[in-house]
Every structure is written in structure tokens, then in C-alpha cells.
Homo-oligomer: A and B are copies of this chain.
Amino acid sequence: MKALVLYYSRTGVTEKMARTIAQSLQEEGISVDLFNVTQFPLETLPSYDLIVVGSPTYYGTMAAEVKKFLDESVRFHGDLEGRIGGAFASSANPAGGNETTVLSILEALLIHGMVVKGMSEGSHYGPVAIEEFDRRAEEECRTYARELARLTKALRPGKEGQ
């Protein structure tokens, strides 16, 4: 099983979220590649079982750099059917668009035919950091990673041990 964690970051907050999620996935026994989205080699996209994408919030949705990746991912449209997806976001203030940013990423993953999961506690659509990468955000990243790992193991079992 292989996971991809992609992020874009200017202040470093989203990058810290990405690193925490990547580390937690590894602790669950999943092999992880971590990339700044601008440096990701797109042709490897279909090789991942789990794809988690994070972005700062600019004008209520993901950064253009993240959108560019999603637009280009059309090259593999259909190939990601049934894979597992996740999203996370950071923003400058509480009503700052975190939710709509996470949702806009999840919507793109659903259009790819992917499987996503909410959380009944905390930030329901995916981890969000407000202003800084504090303890709450860190805990959400860890919990979310664990849930995505469990989902990936359940849905891509044939991949285990390969």
C-alpha cells in the first residue's frame, strides 16, 4: 500500500500538517511519499492507493497551485476510481474558509471516483489549522491519518504485502 501526501504552503503551517499526516500514515505501516504539489511528478499519480491533499485557504478555496495539480490530474481521469482520498487546510481565522477549502478538494477527489471519509468529532471534513499548527490541529491530523489508513487497508487489501 502506498500513500501520497501533497501540499502547498507559504507560511509553513500546511506543510507541518502534511508532515504530521505523512508520519502518522507511516506509523500505520503505509509507505508514504510527501511532496510540495509544485514538485510532484504527475506521472506517478496512479500508483497510489491513498491520496491526501492539503492547501492554505485563499479566497475561500484551495490555492491556484493545488488547483493546477487537480486540473492536470485529468490525464489520469478514471484511473483513480475507488482509491481513497483525503483533504486538509489551513487559514488565517476561524471563519476563514477552511471548510470550503477542504470541501473543494474533496469534491475534486469525488469527481475522480474516489472514496472519502468524514469525522464525527472535530473538523468533520478533514483537519484544519487556524492561524497556527497548534495541538488541536496536530491531534486532528493524527486521528485523520489513522482513519484513512484503516480505510485504505480495508479497501485495498490485495495490495498489502506486495
Contacts and interface: CB of A to CB of B under 8 A. Distances in A.
Interface of A: 58-65, 67-68, 70-71, 73-74, 77-78, 80-82, 94-95, 97-100, 103-104, 106-125, 128, 130, 151, 154-155
A59 B74 contact: yes
Contacts of A71: 58-59, 63-64
B111 A118 contact: yes
A58 B123 CA distance: 14
A62 B67 CA distance: 8
A95 B123 contact: yes
Taken together, the copies of this chain in the complex come to 4
A60 B122 contact: no
A10 to B, nearest CB: 10
Nearest to A154: B155
Q: Name the prevailing secondary structure of the A interface residues.
A: mixed
B114 A107 contact: no
B110 A124 contact: yes
A124 B97 contact: yes
Nearest to A85: B118
Contact of A78 (B63, B73, B121): B121
Contact of A64 (B64, B95, B98, B155): B64
